[in-house]
Amino acid sequence: MSDSAPIYDDKAHVRGNLDLTGAAWIRSDEGAEDEEEHVEIAFVEHTDGVTYTAMRNSAHPEGPVLVFTPAEWEAFILGVKDGEFDEPW
């Protein structure tokens, strides 16, 4: 028996089925040069009626895309605002 927590994949039905072809990618250009990489996000509605947040690297638009449920996106934004992802100085 394993001591690890069970894994709950609440996006199994979305994985590989989220249509990003018409996604309107948004990025912040604040303080960055045009040649630099940017994080881009898009809000994409799925056939299940849920709007997921997709995130990618602008330098690799055909590369991997992270997908967040609304609850995951809210938790991520709250973590950013709280400094959870700030680099230690």
HEC readout, 32-62: CCCCCCCEEEEEEECCCCCEEEEEEECCCCC
Residue-number span of the structural domain to which 65 is assigned: 37-82
75 within a domain of the structure (yes/no): yes
In the DSSP assignment, the letter for residue 72 is H
Q: How confident is the model at residue 7, as a pLDDT?
A: 75
pTM of the model: 0.78
The alpha carbon of 32 is separated from its chain's Cα centroid by a whole number of angstroms, namely: 20
Token pair for 65:
């895309």
49 within a domain of the structure (yes/no): yes
16 within a domain of the structure (yes/no): no
Q: How confident is the model at residue 33, as a pLDDT?
A: 64
Q: Output the CA angle 83-73-3, nearest 5 degrees.
A: 85
The answer to whether 39 and 57 are in contact (CB under 8 A) is yes
3 within a domain of the structure (yes/no): no
Number of domains observed in the structure of the chain:
1
How confident is the prediction along the chain (89 residues), in pLDDT tens digits per residue? 567 777 777 788 887 889 999 999 999 766 556 667 889 999 999 999 999 999 999 999 998 999 999 999 999 999 999 999 999 88
Q: How confident is the model at residue 13, as a pLDDT?
A: 86
Distance, CA of 70 to CA of 45 (rounded, Å):
11
